[in-house]
Amino acid sequence: MEPIRVGLLGLGVVGGGTFKVLARNAEEIARRAGRHIVATKVSARDVAKAKSRVGEAAEVVADPFQIVRDPEIDIVVELIGGDTLARELVLEAIAHGKHVVTANKALLAKHGNEIFARASEQGVMVAFEAAVAGGIPIIKAIREGLSANQIEWVAGIINGTTNFILTEMRARGLPFSEVLAEAQRLGYAEADPTFDIEGVDAAHKLTLLSSIAFGVPIRFDKAHIEGISQLAQEDIRYAEELGYRIKLLGITKARPEGIELRVHPTLIAAQRVMANVEGAMNAVMVKGDAVGATLYYGQGAGEEPTASAVVADLVDVTRLHTADPEHRVPHLAFQPDAITDRPMLSIEDITTSYYLRLAATDQPGVLADITRILADASISIVSMIQKPREDATQADIIFLTHEALERNVNAAIARIEALPTVVSTVTRLRIENLA
Ligand SMILES: NC(=O)c1ccc[n+]([C@@H]2O[C@H](COP(=O)([O-])OP(=O)(O)OC[C@H]3O[C@@H](n4cnc5c(N)ncnc54)[C@H](O)[C@@H]3O)[C@@H](O)[C@H]2O)c1
Ligand SMILES: N[C@@H](CCO)C(=O)O
Ligand code: NA
């Protein structure tokens, strides 16, 4: 039988890995897919360099539009990144009746509603397993494996770069910039690493997870996003002393009032599995009403782990030709006409526990003032530590709270910061028990 012909757009970290895995595992992949899957055409900015990598196995072209319009190409794999050229190429491929596989979460978080609508009209698939948590088959798990459930929440470490940075900062006390450079060298970071550091990449992925978990449109604009650039070494240290680790967590929750969608540094009790997901590893927990809590762990970034998901999508798409052409899993798990919009909640509407750190002058009455403000705002304290600062007239004070409404916490923080005895802003980190 004729092979399935794949056009690869981009031959960088993921494109190169995809080419390698397709070639190395060609026979095993064909046994699963029912046809051989061959990258016959590659588009790269540096044609000579790409030729030296792919040899005679594929034709290399400079113009990616030549691939998306090529009648010989069955599936287009978009691994260029960004949301401008990539959007044009993906829409053009769909318009030409081609299935698309992409690892591009930035593109789908921003233009996914449009892209999936066009794909449905054209009767083609846009597969994106590699876009969320790289090699971990989390899209497939939620969309297919958990389809019996009402999903209650999804929470995960879904950015390898920031998890690598947090791990190295905590375990080896290395400075932020040095660890970031290492993550870039290893191929984990985005072309613009501020996407990683500021939580944007995690929010892109979380938005896609939220949509397939709850059957809502992709609403990246509603995500609350905090990254790790403002996180201080001392908070990592104090958290550890209190029995917690800090992770950049993406959390999306379905509540009767609406959907929570938030990415922020989060304290997690040190003995929990999620707190021990280290280095560039990713982990996602999904809580379903029938199945309970489930956990998915693996490499969320890097050349071959990401290629693993790209190639699995290629196998899925190929099976449309070989198994049952009518059998389609809906892009966003729910039937297109069953996707219902729901209110998206503001961060002020969440209820969770908090870590609050501030510096105050060490004098009688300071603690009483602060605890009165917390009590007035219905915020109850679990524990407190006080540490002398370099300036011995001042102390760092850290509170852990019971669950409280974020709106109340904001109001209390404003009042605390206004106290003349409080000499710093209040650092607020959220705590999740993931139970
Ligand atoms: N690196 C990872 O671990 C990882 C994991 C999951 C998803 N992703 C996503 O995969 C995509 C690719 O990421 P990457 O890390 O491989 O990036 P990369 O920068 O290594 O590769 C991108 C490639 O696209 C090429 N390119 C750019 N413009 C082009 C054009 N006009 N025509 C042809 N080629 C062009 C570049 O030359 C480069 O080789 C991004 O969307 C990224 O977010 C990356
Ligand atoms: N920059 C991303 C790549 C995987 O999507 C990360 O660090 O997780
Ligand atoms: Na994945």
pLDDT digits (tens, 9 = 90+) for 138-164: 999 999 999 999 999 999 999 999 999
Are residues 76 and 16 in contact, defined by beta-carbon separation less than 8 angstroms?
no
Using an 8 Å Cβ cutoff, are 228 and 166 in contact? yes
pTM comes to: 0.90
Whether 402 lines ligand 1, by a CB cut-off of 6 Å, is no
Cβ–ligand 1 distance for 183 under 6 Å, the answer no
% of the chain with per-residue pLDDT over 70: 98
53 C-alpha vs ligand 3 centroid, how far in Å? Answer: 26
Whether 347-431 and 138-299 are alike in CATH topology: the answer is no
What is the CATH number assigned to the segment(s) 347-431? 3.30.70.260
Q: What mean pLDDT do residues 128-136 have?
A: 97
Q: Check if the beta carbon of residue 260 is closer than 8 Å to that of residue 162.
A: no
pLDDT tens digits along 35-65: 899 999 999 999 999 999 999 989 999 999 9
* Mean pLDDT in residue range 220-243: 94
**Residue 68 Cβ contacting ligand 1 at under 6 Å:** no
pLDDT band at 330 (very low <50, low <70, confident <90, very high): low
- Tokens of residue 67, six digits: 């691939």
Q: Which positions make up the binding site for NADPH? A: 105
Identify the sign of the CA torsion 231, 234, 235, 240.
positive
Measured CA angle at 91 (ends 87, 95), to 5 deg: 170
Fold of 138-299: Dihydrodipicolinate Reductase; domain 2 (3.30.360)
pLDDT-based confidence at 328, cuts 50/70/90? low
Label residue 53 exposed, middle or buried (CB < 10 Å: 0-12, 13-18, 19+): middle
Q: Which mutation among 185, 190, 209, 310 tests ligand 2's pocket best, with the greatest number of atoms within 8 A of CB?
A: 190
Q: Under CATH, what is the fold of the domain 4-134+303-338? A: Rossmann fold (3.40.50)
> C-alpha angle 158/162/168, rounded to 5°?
125
Tens of pLDDT, residues 239-294? 999 999 999 999 999 999 999 999 999 999 999 999 999 999 999 999 999 999 99
Check whether 194 has a pLDDT greater than 70.
yes
- Average predicted confidence (pLDDT) for the chain: 94
What is the arithmetic mean of pLDDT over 389-406?
A: 96
Ligand with an atom nearest the CA of residue 205: 2
List the chain domain ranges: 4-134+303-338, 138-299, 347-431
Torsion of CA 295, 296, 298, 303, to 10 degrees: -150
Between CA 166 and CA 265 the distance in angstroms is 10
